[in-house]
Structure formats: C-alpha cells, structure tokens
Amino acid sequence: MKHLERRERTWAQSAGALLQLHNHVCPATLQAMFNWDDVRYFLTLQRVGTLAAAGTALTLDPTTVGRRLVKLEEELGARLFDRTPNGYVLTEAGHRLLPRAERIEREALGVERDVAGEDQKLEGVVRLTATEMLTTRFIAPQLRRFRERYPEIQLELQCTNLDVNLARREADIALRLARPTQEDLIIKRLSFIHLGLYASLDYVDRFGLPKESLAGHQLILFANTRPFRRENEWIEARMDGALVALRSDSVSATYSATVAGTGIGLLPCLVADHDRHLIRVPVEGAPEPRQIWQAVHKDLRDSARIRAVLDFLGKALTPPADTVSAG
C-alpha cells in the first residue's frame, strides 16, 4: 500500500504543477479535474473503451468508474465520451482534453520514475511482465532463491504476450521473445531458447521412439497463429504423415501434454533435457532458436530493487555454456 500512496501523492503534486488552463473551462474546475484519480479514470477509459475493461485495469467496480465519469463531466460542464454500442468514444471536448491529460501523465510518471530510480533500498514492489513460458518454466522454479536473498522485495509477475508500456509504469521490467521497440528503454539480450522434439517415456513405451521419420506418430503443434509460425513451419515440414493430436497457443500446456504422453512436442531444451519424464526425439536439425530480450526504462536502472531483479533474471535465464543444447 505504501507504494500506491506514494504514487498518488506524486501524481497529485505533478498534476497540480503542470496544469494549463483550457479556454472553455474555468481554473477552479480544471484544478478539480486534474487530480490523480480523474486523470487515471479518463485516460484508462479512453484507452480500453468500456467500463468493464476500465474497471479491470483500475481494479475497481465498473459502476464506480461510471459514476466518477458522470461526476467529472458534470464538474467540467461538458460530455467527454459518447456512449456507443461499441464502447466509449471521445467527444470533441474529450479530444481537446486528451493531450493535456497525457502530458500530465508523462510528466508525473517521469517524476515517479526519477524517485523510484534513486531508491537504494532493497525493498518494495517490482512488477515483471513475461510470457507464460518464461514465467512458468524458467522464472517461477527459481523464485525461492530470490526470495531467500531479498525477503523485502515483492515480485508481481504478469504473464502476457501483449505489449506493456514501461514508460507508463504498467510494469517495471519486461521479458519478451521479440526485441522491444519502445523509446527510452535499456534493452539487453539475455539468452537463446533452443527447441527440440520430445516424447514422454510412457509415449515411447506405447508407440516407440521415431527413428528416421515421424510417420504414424502423434504430434503436438502450436496454434495456427503468427507468433508460432516459425516453429509450426519447421515441424510441419517433417511430419511425413504424422497425426496432429493437439494444437495449443500455450507452451506450458504443450509441455504438460507432452509429459502426459499425448504426443511428441516441441519444447525448450534447457528445461526438457533435465526432465526425467521426457526423452529427446532424434531428428535432424532444429528450429531457429528464440531470443530472450530484457527491457527496463532508463530512469529505473539505478534503483537497488530493480537491479536486484535484473541480476536474478540474468542468472536465471542465462544457462552455463556447457548446458546449452543446440539441437
């Protein structure tokens, strides 16, 4: 709660310092509008488009967001959103207000990042966003070691493949399998993820281990979506009449299904090579390895708790040279 209270104070102070009067809104009304909550509610609703999504993003009941919006519009004497079947859409007055609200947000977040970047205490919350596979297979199994060393640092893990805006403090650190493109980030490539085909011991007992061909075997493929196109094309070129037992957009689900004997799956070698339930399927070649990219906003690089998490991630995701499996 302390970091949330500090954040609200920072926003309130920054908003007050950065107010610029609008020609059609009196100073007292504009001052009332631009506090932390009003900026937050206005911008969130503008970005997500519905009260339900805004409530989720703000961890509030949607009716609360709706009431605050009505109150804000009454204070300003202007309708900021049109209510349409497809969601909330900015009116002309809302569009005039938007750049001012965004400017206050940028400046306030800059102040917040500056304060956080100077914090040399090994305590507080660090928000880490990573893909499901990186979180469940690489990070979570090693969190006990981090917790024992830094008991006062609380990690918040957000498992998503969606873009997260680090400048808006939607997260402090991001791990992605594609190089981030946002500005003002310190970006580092941590490692490569080599992939290989694996089968469970139970599967091999029932169907045998493929020798020269995958013909007649059951395969687990990834979903037919763009993020998995590279891996799917590689394995589909080698199917040779094999049957598709399952498709999934979750690497963790694919891993679990492979361990359960559902079929042969394409898995991260660094994890699967050390799983006693799995055996590597001997096939020629391997798909192009994925790269793990780490990103943090430049204003946070000197924060002690951020550095502690970055150091932990570097060790957790960078395997010793003699354990890397190139296929």
Domain identity same for 30 and 101? yes
Structure-token pair, residue 182: 């946002």
Write the CATH number for 100.
1.10.10.10
Total count of domains within the chain = 3
Instruction: Note down pLDDT in tens along the chain; length 327 residues.
Output: 444 444 454 444 444 434 333 444 444 444 444 566 788 889 999 998 999 999 888 888 999 999 888 888 888 888 899 998 889 999 998 898 888 888 877 777 766 656 655 556 788 899 999 998 899 888 999 999 999 999 999 999 999 888 888 877 889 999 999 898 888 899 999 999 999 999 999 999 999 999 888 999 999 999 999 889 999 999 999 998 899 999 999 999 999 999 999 999 999 998 999 999 999 999 888 999 999 999 998 888 888 899 999 999 998 887 655 444 444
Domain identity same for 166 and 308? yes
Q: Answer yes or no: is 290 within a domain.
A: no
Domain that holds residue 62: 2-117
Q: Answer yes or no: is 292 within a domain.
A: no
Report yes or no: 265 and 207 within 8 Å, Cβ to Cβ: no
CA distance 96 to 90: 9
Domain identity same for 89 and 228? no
**Cα Dmax for the chain:** 79
Structure-token pair, residue 307: 């550095």
How many helices and strands in the chain, by DSSP H and E? 13, 12
Report yes or no: 303 and 121 within 8 Å, Cβ to Cβ: no
Domain identity same for 108 and 142? no
Query: Which residue has tokens 């100073």?
Result: 27
Residues 6+ apart with CB under 8 A from 69: 41, 42, 45, 80, 81
Q: Answer yes or no: is 132 within a domain.
A: yes
The H or E element spanning position 296 is strand 290-297
Write the CATH number for 316.
3.40.190.10
Domain identity same for 13 and 136? no
The H or E element spanning position 65 is helix 62-76
Q: Please give the backbone phi and psi of residue 189, each rounded to the nearest 5 degrees, phi first.
A: -85, 120
Q: Answer yes or no: is 164 within a domain.
A: yes
* C-alpha distances out from residue 181 to 124, 266, 278, Å: 28, 28, 37
> Domain ends where: 78, 102, 117?
117
Q: Answer yes or no: is 189 within a domain.
A: no
Domain identity same for 74 and 143? no
Task: Give the residues across from 176 on adjacent strands.
Answer: 293
Domain identity same for 265 and 303? no
Q: Answer yes or no: is 288 within a domain.
A: no
Please give the model's pTM, rounded to 2 decimal places: 0.63
Domain identity same for 106 and 12? yes
Domain identity same for 130 and 107? no
Q: Answer yes or no: is 286 within a domain.
A: no
Q: Answer yes or no: is 273 within a domain.
A: yes
Domain identity same for 253 and 203? yes
Domain identity same for 39 and 71? yes
Domain identity same for 28 and 90? yes
